[in-house]
Amino acid sequence: MAIPITYNLRSVAARWRTAVVSVAGIAGTVGVFVAMLAMARGFQATLIASGSPENAIIRRAGASSEMDSIVALDQVRIIGDAAQVARGAGGVPLVSPEVVVIGAFQLKSSGTDANVQVRGLSPQVLEVRPSVTVAQGRFFQPGLAEIVVGKNAVTTYRGLDLGAKVRFGGREWTVVGIFDAGGSAFDSELWTDAGVLAQAFKRPENIFQSATVRLESAAAFDGLKDTLTSDPRLSVQVEREEAYYTRQSQMVSTLIRVLGFLVAFVMAIGAVFGALNTMYSAVAARAREIATMRALGFGGGSVVLSFMLEALLIAAAGGILGCLAVLPLNGFTAGTMNWQTFSHLAFAFKVTPQLLLAGISFALLMGLAGGVLPAVRAARLPVATALREL
């Protein structure tokens, strides 16, 4: 005969103090586990969102990122002549040659300096990246020391409000606009005219770090790659923008996941021992109950199943509580270093249903580990000896 589940529910309620300790331990472990995964997922999603399937980024052959790449102006013109590149008004190729530098700006949260990516672009970048819109103010004018600031940069760094004057690169700049890049990495950047930025940082005006192009269609990428890599005048690598930013996210997101798993593993050991202690205490306190059930005809397998079910109930409660504790973090903005560009990147935690399911599964696994040994001990308890106990 199977032991009714109502017996387990009443047993947990009767010994609620020890059960609460186990629930709290499992909830804390699950909370940390899901929070770290949500952080990694949010960081990765922020960078991946920067890429468009209809954009390609061209860099020097062998360069690992924009920071160590060089693309000359004459190469940009050759790139713009490719048939696969989309055209704007008047047949102008949608190519944005870009200069990338790092500036130091104070964090609002701590007052310490952080590396911020400042990107110099062509004025037609809004056609190359149509997902980016000006939320406040206006876009910068070519040839002027004007900058537009990503929406996350405004809230993260000091002195970047609309209309503010900010000094970096040896000159003063005016914030003329705030742009919205849809939650991508661009929201943490400052944008300005490429020529003005190059002058400020004493760089040649005909040298860029990369060129981003708008394709005629996503399917035109392979044709563009073949055209540019086979041209003897060029020594470049052509990559989908999505693939480039996905690769950039891998190092930090993997590091966060590894640290999360290590912390969760250490905490899980404590949670499992807490569950073991709770279940062993239940076995000791209910020796006569177990013996009575065995005498009434309940088999050893039923007893094992009963105690395992009780452990899983406690674990499930802890898992659900841990997931509920993490839910408010969804959308919470944090920041970290992007080790590919050595710049500070603001991103939002991303708590997904898949992560919550993983957290509850992790809790059940801890409950299973903490319940199996006490359940086996309960099933092996000598019936005659237990019935003679007080």
In the chain (390 residues long), the average pLDDT of successive 10-residue segments reads: 67 77 87 90 82 92 88 94 90 92 88 88 90 94 94 91 91 95 89 93 91 93 94 93 84 80 84 76 69 72 78 89 93 73 77 93 88 76 62
Which of these three, 206, 234, 262, is where a domain ends? 234
222 and 303 share a domain? no
What's the rounded Cα separation, in Å, for the pair 164 and 173?
A: 8
Beta-carbon contacts of residue 44 (< 8 Å; ≥ 6 apart): 246, 249, 250, 253
What's the rounded Cα separation, in Å, for the pair 267 and 362?
A: 12
The distance of Cα 273 from the centroid of its chain, to the nearest Å, equals: 31
364 and 296 share a domain? yes
Which parts of the chain are beta strand (E)? 55-60, 71-72, 95-106, 113-121, 133-137, 146-150, 165-168, 171-180, 190-193, 207-208, 210-214, 236-240, 333-338, 343-348
Give the pLDDT of residue 57.
95
pTM above 0.95, yes or no: no
Domain that holds residue 291: 5-48+248-388
292 and 226 share a domain? no
| Residue 139 counted as domain residue | yes
| Residue 151 counted as domain residue | yes
11 and 156 share a domain? no
203 and 69 share a domain? yes
Q: Which residue is associated with the tokens 């929201």?
A: 187
Give the pLDDT of residue 390.
44
| Residue 243 counted as domain residue | no
Which of these three, 193, 212, 234, is where a domain ends? 234
Give the pLDDT of residue 123.
82
In terms of DSSP bridges, do strands 343-348 and 95-106 run parallel, antiparallel, or are they unpaired? Answer: unpaired
**Tokens for 326?**
């993490």
139 and 100 share a domain? yes
215 and 128 share a domain? yes
348 and 293 share a domain? yes
Give the HSE-up count for residue 185: Cα atoms under 13 Å, Cβ half-sphere. Answer: 28
Say whether 373 sits in a helix, a strand or coil: helix
Whether residue 132 contacts residue 180, with contact meaning beta carbons closer than 8 Å, is answered with yes
Q: Which residue is associated with the tokens 């406040």?
A: 136
Whether residue 99 contacts residue 120, with contact meaning beta carbons closer than 8 Å, is answered with yes
Q: Whole-angstrom distance between the N-terminal and C-terminal Cα of the chain?
A: 26
Structurally, how many domains does the chain consist of? 2
**Tokens for 12?**
């947990």
Which of these three, 234, 267, 289, is where a domain ends? 234
80 and 27 share a domain? no
| Residue 240 counted as domain residue | no
Question: What is the 3 state secondary structure string of 42-83?
Answer: HHHHHHHCCCCCCEEEEEECCCCCHHHCCEEHHHHHHHHCCC
| Residue 55 counted as domain residue | no
What's the rounded Cα separation, in Å, for the pair 93 and 224?
A: 13
- Measured at the CA of 87, the angle between CA 85 and CA 88, to 5 degrees, comes to 145
266 and 221 share a domain? no
| Residue 242 counted as domain residue | no
212 and 279 share a domain? no
| Residue 56 counted as domain residue | no
